[in-house]
Structure 1
């Protein structure tokens, strides 16, 4: 992206590049509606509510000049941000309102395992996969995001297809427990972004520890972003990610608008 911007006037260069189309904005956010898929939780856990709008006024006796709604949803519905306190291991590491804004605008890279996930819905990303990626593309971005492309966004229009569950539970791609620990403790990234309903694999309840992406990453004060779209439009490197959750006091997370800034020619 440096070839588009001016070192002498980086903000002016950015504004000019956006206006001219030299930098394109790719929306990575899923549409939020009552049909947005929601993770099914075990019977001993409170269910996550689906997204709903409650009409409050629509140019009528409730408000002649306005249209407005009440919003009813869970924090972890649709494209959403996981704050550290979402998991017990990160209980003392901050809520969504505590996240420094500089952490919400950062470089991002993409690892693409969509072919492997098409062949095996339980495919797991390993440390070896990431080491191989780094040998080809360079180190993971310090303070940035690893975006894990699985092709799962193509299923996001349908709850059944998206969760892909049978009698043994959901079958969706994720990362190994060791990969989660490595990303949390040894990699320089600030967060992990995925296309699936959560940062963990569908079968992660059988791993040790259970749900290791949540356990390790949030326990290390890092973040998660889920249910992303359009990762297939991003280059492997060279993206700047903007993650914009609501600043909810005490919130464990929030629905978020997630945007990618990509230099023209970098968008696939």
Structure 2
């Protein structure tokens, strides 16, 4: 077990930092809002069972009420029509849940344009500087949007014309899903698609292409600014819900310092 011993020692003496990328789950956690006539998920809430009282004098526990796609969560292929014959969240291979990750930072461009869409040329330029995307790994798109994650109104950024949050163009989503070796896409926004995604062709292209290709999505990440462009290991821990289309997840990265 020398490799695992070395890993634990490196974590213990801070040569490897464990960076939490997860947004805490509370009743104020922002959730995606679809327009009528579509149905929406519930937010997160706790229902107390007992707390050192007559219902349970020595213990405290709760029921949780939430949707699968609340807070920091994983999208499984079966979540979308294009992936309806694919894997549910309980069957996603562990090899894609502990995998290399790279960070593509477009936060400066998003600062003046909340409708920013990542294009193939942007990824090509990143690869020219940092090397190829990781086979079986994750592309994490840093937009700086996690700065708004405690303010639902600012985080969803919706007006009469729709939602205005950054994301990926339809062509780039197709290319990433079908022509690159990544296992999934991670974002800081409420969903893997941009706010304007309902008007793209196809609608919600990240969902359509990634999940249709048997790949996964990861949303509402935090602290991507602290990760290097390459070299991090991503660890994703969703609930293995049999038949589930996704799950809230604890997500963190191992970074060599």
TM-score tier by shorter-chain length is over 0.9
Q: 2: distance between equivalents of 1:248 and 1:11?
A: 29
Q: What is residue 199 of structure 2 aligned with on the other side?
A: 206
Residue of structure 1 aligned with 2:61, choices 68, 80, 96: 68
Residue of structure 2 aligned with 1:30, choices 10, 23, 27: 23
Q: How many equivalent residue pairs?
A: 257
CA contact 1:41–1:48 (8 Å) conserved in 2:
no
Give the TM-score normalised by structure 2.
0.99
Residue of structure 1 aligned with 2:133, choices 140, 150, 160: 140
Instruction: Report how far residue 9 of structure 1 moved.
Output: 2.8
Q: What is residue 185 of structure 1 aligned with on the other side?
A: 178
Give the TM-score normalised by structure 1.
0.95
Q: What is residue 97 of structure 2 aligned with on the other side?
A: 104
Instruction: Report how far residue 21 of structure 1 moved.
Output: 1.2
Q: What is residue 151 of structure 2 aligned with on the other side?
A: 158
Instruction: Report how far residue 162 of structure 1 moved.
Output: 0.3
CA contact 1:41–1:47 (8 Å) conserved in 2:
yes
Instruction: Report how far residue 10 of structure 1 moved.
Output: 1.8
Q: 1: distance between equivalents of 2:245 and 2:123?
A: 28
Instruction: Report how far residue 103 of structure 1 moved.
Output: 1.3
CA contact 1:83–1:253 (8 Å) conserved in 2:
yes
Q: 1: distance between equivalents of 2:40 and 2:182?
A: 31
Residue of structure 2 aligned with 1:50, choices 36, 43, 46: 43
Q: 1: distance between equivalents of 2:127 and 2:94?
A: 27
Which stretch of the first structure deviates more once superposed, 56-65 or 39-48? Answer: 39-48
Residue of structure 1 aligned with 2:79, choices 51, 63, 86: 86
Q: 2: distance between equivalents of 1:10 and 1:188?
A: 27
Q: Which runs of 5+ in 1 are unaligned?
A: 1-7
Which consecutive segments of 4 or more residues in structure 1 shift more than 4 A? none
Superposed CA deviations along residues 221-264 of structure 1, whole A, max 9, x for unmatched, are 00000000000000111100001000001000000000100012
SS at match of 1:134: helix
SS at match of 2:194: coil
SS at match of 1:93: coil
